Amino acid sequence: MTALIIDGKLVAAAIKESLKPRIASLKAKGVVPGLAAVLVGDDPASATYVGAKAKACEDLGLYSEVIRQPKELIEPALASIIHGLNANKKIHGILVQSPLPKHIDEEAMTLLIDPAKDVDGFHPFNVGMMLIGKPGLLPCTPHGIIKLLEHYRIDPDGKEVVVVGRSNIVGKPVAAMLMQKGKMANATVTVAHSRSKNLSEITRRADILIAAIGRPNTITGDMIKSGAVVIDVGVNRVENPTAKKGYSLVGDVDFAACAEKASFITPVPGGVGPMTIAMLMSNTVTAAEKSTEK
Ligand code: NDP
| Residues noted as catalytic | 53, 97, 120
User: What DSSP state is assigned to residue 253?
Assistant: B
207 pLDDT band, cuts 50/70/90, is: very high
Give residue ranges with CB within 6 A of ligand 1: 141, 164-167, 169-171, 192-195, 199, 212-215, 218, 233-236, 272-273, 276
What angle in degrees, to the nearest 10, is found between the helix axes of 272-293 and 44-60? 60
What angle in degrees, to the nearest 10, is found between the helix axes of 272-293 and 8-28? 20
Residue 14 domain-assigned (yes or no): no
Residue 287 domain-assigned (yes or no): no
The share of the chain scoring above pLDDT 90, in percent, equals: 99
Q: Measured in angstroms, how far is the CA atom of residue 170 from the centroid of ligand 1?
A: 8
1 pLDDT band, cuts 50/70/90, is: confident
Q: Is 90 exceeded by the pLDDT of residue 264?
A: yes
How is 99-160 classified by DSSP, letter by letter?
PPPTTS-HHHHHHHS-GGG-TT--SHHHHHHHHTT--SPPPHHHHHHHHHHHHTT---TT-E
Q: Measured in angstroms, how far is the CA atom of residue 119 from the centroid of ligand 1?
A: 21
Residue 84 domain-assigned (yes or no): yes
Q: CATH number of the domain at 185, please.
A: 3.40.50.720
Q: In terms of domains, do 150 and 110 share one? A: no
Residues in the chain: 294
Sequence-distant (6+) residues with CB within 8 A of 200 are 222, 223
Q: In terms of domains, do 171 and 100 share one? A: no
Q: In terms of domains, do 44 and 84 share one? A: yes
Pairing of strands 236-239, 247-250: antiparallel
Closest Cα to atom 31 of ligand 1:
214
Each residue's pLDDT tens digit, 4-59: 999 999 999 999 999 999 999 999 999 999 999 999 999 999 999 999 999 999 99
Structural domain count, the chain: 2
Q: What's the chain's average pLDDT?
A: 97
Q: In terms of domains, do 92 and 152 share one? A: no
Residue 124 domain-assigned (yes or no): no
Domain span at 87: 30-114
